[in-house]
């Protein structure tokens, strides 16, 4: 623990995990005024404008005074959304977002030194337009046939508590067939992750079936996912070699129930299948390697007035031997968003590279959140982090001690749909972050932002 007491007291935060279904539809907000288009079609316009200012320290390398000792920047994002209700049975959505080569929105001043026709005088800087593009976040049509519905297009997709699969940030091209009967909800999904070359068998496609049951005091759900990748491009790290065919299965089972005012929840994920002709990165080269990863989560939530307490334990398997034919690491397919800790896996490096969620990870998290007033809310969390299998992040002897993290968030509603927040965290690094000749220093990051939703 290294001189961050004042920072810890100044930030309270956590990202609570919530179960989500595949392809959720948003209702038109009651307070908005729909536009009547031709043929009495209702169109509702919405979106948001977001500004964020960030300060990071030791996130790139865990050394005080290193080459990336600190980073400070402001970014901005614009989203525009159009919800269309053509009839009682047919709806659609078009959702666009300003995109930047370097990530989420654009960073202020990134193009300020690019000379352009609008920058005149001796000191030709600034006075520029953002030259990046808008991209489609969502573009889908939904039709209700009575006993079932079909939704087709580009849409956010996720499963359960998002241990294995979460593509809600930017979505996938998919067809979803779904329906409900009494307390049972079911769905079937085909999602095209990658087309590759149209004339070559190199696509990556996912197929899923899922069902859930809602009881009086409990909920249960399960899903089966098959991923067929002819080129092995689902690779954020050497574990899945590009050029190798992947035929992977994931089986998810989850549930929750209420016990004396306490909500108890759990999730288990099991994986099987093969990786053909591996390059030897994590298993024997030139043989079919078997997926044997698994993960689970167990948690409890308790509410007391405006305060909510949550205790959760997560485990994702790691690969204990890269020289055998088993792929024991739990394979994830996620978005570039926060899953639990603010620093670990979101703002900085982790045990499997690329922000893999709970892959090769044990995490115990305690969260407290409260609504102080109508406009002010506070949340805070502490995370204990340990690798499932020993890892060396910066070149020292492999170890399973990742450290522990304290996060916090403060949110204040300035006006209707206008909020300001401060969030951040401190990761007290464990031995797994050490360098060959010295111990790693701690990491921290703090960010504030302003968001107007409409």
- Per-residue pLDDT tens digits for 99-155: 764 456 666 666 554 545 566 565 555 656 665 678 889 999 999 999 999 999 999
Put residue 432 in one of left, alpha, beta given phi > 0 → left and psi -120 to 50 → alpha: alpha
- What span, in angstroms and rounded, lies between the C-alpha atoms of 219 and 330? 25
In DSSP terms, 313 is beta-bridged to 298, 364
Higher pLDDT, 69 or 404: 404
- List, for residues 69-96, the tens digit of each pLDDT value: 688 989 898 999 999 999 999 999 999 9
Provide mean pLDDT across the span 338-355. 80
CA distance linking residue 295 with residue 360, whole number of Å: 9
Classify the C-alpha dihedral 17-20-23-24 as positive or negative: negative
Overall size of the chain counted in residues: 454
Angle at 317 between CA 16 and CA 386, to 5 degrees: 65
Taken in order 180, 173, 19, 327, the sign of the CA dihedral is: positive
Pick from 70, 57, 69: nearest CA to 427: 57
Tokens of 99: 């995109």
Spatial neighbors of 390 by CB under 8 A, at least 6 apart, are 398, 399, 400, 432
Strand 289-291 to 326-327 pairing: parallel
**Integer angstrom CA distances of residue 11 from 383, 411, 449:** 14, 11, 14
Asked if residue 11 has pLDDT above 70, the reply is: no
Output the pLDDT for position 288: 83
Q: Are 143 and 150 in contact (CB under 8 A)?
A: yes
Least confident interval from 2-6, 127-131, 299-303: 2-6
Decide if 453 contacts 415 (C-beta within 8 A): no
pLDDT level of residue 18 (50, 70, 90 thresholds):
very low
Q: What six digits make up the tokens of 291?
A: 């997926």
- Res 278 pLDDT > 50: yes
pLDDT of residue 223: 98
- For residues 59 and 55, the model is more confident at 55
Q: Domains along the chain?
A: 5-24+43-453 (2.40.160.100)
**279 pLDDT higher than 80:** no
Which one has a higher pLDDT value, 310 or 77?
310
CA end-to-end span of the chain = 42
């Amino acid at each position: 623990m290294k001189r961050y007491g004042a920072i810890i007291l100044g930030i309270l935060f956590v990202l609570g995990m919530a179960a989500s279904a595949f392809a959720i539809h948003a209702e038109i907000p009651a307070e908005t005024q729909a536009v009547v288009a031709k043929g009495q079609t209702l169109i509702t316009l919405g979106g948001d404008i977001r500004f964020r200012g960030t300060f990071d320290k030791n996130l790139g390398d865990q050394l005080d005074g290193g080459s990336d000792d600190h980073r400070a920047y402001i970014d901005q994002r614009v989203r525009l959304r159009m919800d269309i209700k053509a009839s009682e049975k047919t709806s659609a959505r078009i959702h666009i977002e300003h995109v930047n080569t370097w990530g989420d929105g654009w960073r202020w001043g990134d193009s300020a030194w690019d000379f352009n026709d609008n920058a005149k005088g001796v000191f030709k800087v600034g006075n520029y337009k953002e030259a990046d593009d808008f991209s489609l976040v969502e573009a889908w049509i939904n039709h209700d046939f009575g006993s079932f519905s079909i939704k087709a297009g580009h849409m956010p997709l996720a499963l359960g508590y998002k241990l294995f699969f979460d593509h809600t940030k930017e979505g996938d091209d998919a067809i979803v067939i779904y329906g409900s009967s009494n307390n049972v909800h079911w769905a079937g999904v085909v999602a095209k992750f990658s087309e590759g070359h149209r004339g070559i068998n190199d696509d990556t496609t996912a197929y899923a079936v899922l069902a859930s049951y809602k009881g009086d005091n409990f909920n249960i759900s399960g899903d089966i996912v098959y991923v067929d990748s002819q080129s092995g491009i689902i690779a954020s790290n050497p574990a899945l070699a590009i050029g190798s065919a992947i035929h992977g299965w994931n089986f998810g089972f989850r549930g929750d129930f209420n016990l004396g005012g306490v909500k108890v929840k759990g999730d288990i994920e099991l994986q099987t299948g093969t990786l053909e002709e591996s390059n030897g990165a994590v298993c024997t080269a030139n043989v079919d390697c078997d997926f044997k990863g698994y993960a689970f989560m167990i948690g409890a939530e308790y509410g007391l007035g405006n305060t909510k307490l949550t205790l959760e334990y997560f485990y994702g398997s790691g690969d204990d031997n890269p020289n055998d034919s088993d792929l024991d690491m739990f394979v994830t397919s996620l978005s570039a968003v926060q899953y639990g800790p603010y620093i670990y896996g979101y703002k900085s490096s982790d045990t499997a590279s690329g922000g893999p969620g709970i892959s090769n990870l044990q995490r115990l998290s305690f969260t407290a959140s409260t609504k102080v007033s109508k406009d002010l809310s506070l949340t805070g969390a502490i995370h204990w982090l340990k690798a499932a299998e020993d890892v060396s992040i910066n070149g020292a002897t492999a170890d399973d001690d990742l450290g522990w993290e304290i996060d916090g968030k403060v949110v204040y509603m300035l006006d209707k749909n206008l909020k300001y927040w401060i969030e951040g965290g401190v990761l007290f690094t464990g031995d797994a972050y050490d360098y060959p000749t010295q111990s790693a220093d701690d990491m921290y990051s703090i960010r504030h932002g302003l968001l107007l939703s409409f």
